[in-house]
Amino acid sequence: MGQNTINVTDSNFESAVVKSSVPVLVDFWAPWCGPCVAIAPTLEQLAEEFKGKVTIAKMNVDENANTPSQFGVRSIPYLVIMKNGKVVDSAVGAVPKAKLVDMLTKAL
């Protein structure tokens, strides 16, 4: 877990993500998932670059079952951008940083 990302769980997802005043990129991940680990430094960079404008949240799918199932998460990393409690964009896999920047910029 980086210093700029937040850890979300089934219990705080509503308050940390759904009710957030800024767009939130949620990274559904697991420690055993190679691409999830590979994309983590990119998410840290984005959290720094978009500080104050976007929140980057990470949810470990092994420790939280309810939220991933609500989002139909089948493959990880699964990245969802939420704004005003609604999904505005999503991507599966270790997508390039440029694509994530584009997705976040659109959500602002």
Instruction: Give the CATH number of the domain where residue 11 resides.
Output: 3.40.30.10
Residue at 55 is within a domain: yes
Which residue in this structure is represented by tokens 């840290």? 44
Mean pLDDT of 4-24: 97
Residue at 1 is within a domain: no
In the residue annotation, 54 being an active-site residue is answered as no
pLDDT at 1 over 60: no
Q: In this structure, how many other beta carbons lie within 10 angstroms of the beta carbon of residue 25?
A: 26
Mean pLDDT of 40-48: 96
The count of structural domains within the chain is 1
The pair of structure tokens assigned to 23 is 């767009």
Over residues 89-100, the pLDDT tens digits come to 999 999 999 999
pLDDT at 2 over 70: no
Over residues 46-93, the pLDDT tens digits come to 999 999 999 999 999 999 999 999 999 999 999 999 999 999 999 999
pLDDT at 3 over 90: no
Residue at 68 is within a domain: yes
In the residue annotation, 36 being an active-site residue is answered as yes
Q: Could you say which of 8, 26, 36, 103 is catalytic?
A: 36
Residue at 86 is within a domain: yes
Q: In this structure, how many other beta carbons lie within 10 angstroms of the beta carbon of residue 22?
A: 12
Phi, psi of 82 (to 5 degrees): -115, 140
Closest CA to 43 of 86, 105, 99, 100: 100
pTM, two decimal places? 0.96
Contacts for 45-52: CB closer than 8 Å, 24+ residues apart: 45/97, 46/97, 46/100, 46/101, 46/104, 47/2, 47/4, 47/5, 48/4, 49/101, 50/104, 51/4, 52/22
Residue at 10 is within a domain: yes
Q: Could you say which of 10, 20, 33, 101 is catalytic?
A: 33
Domain that includes residue 44, residue range: 6-107
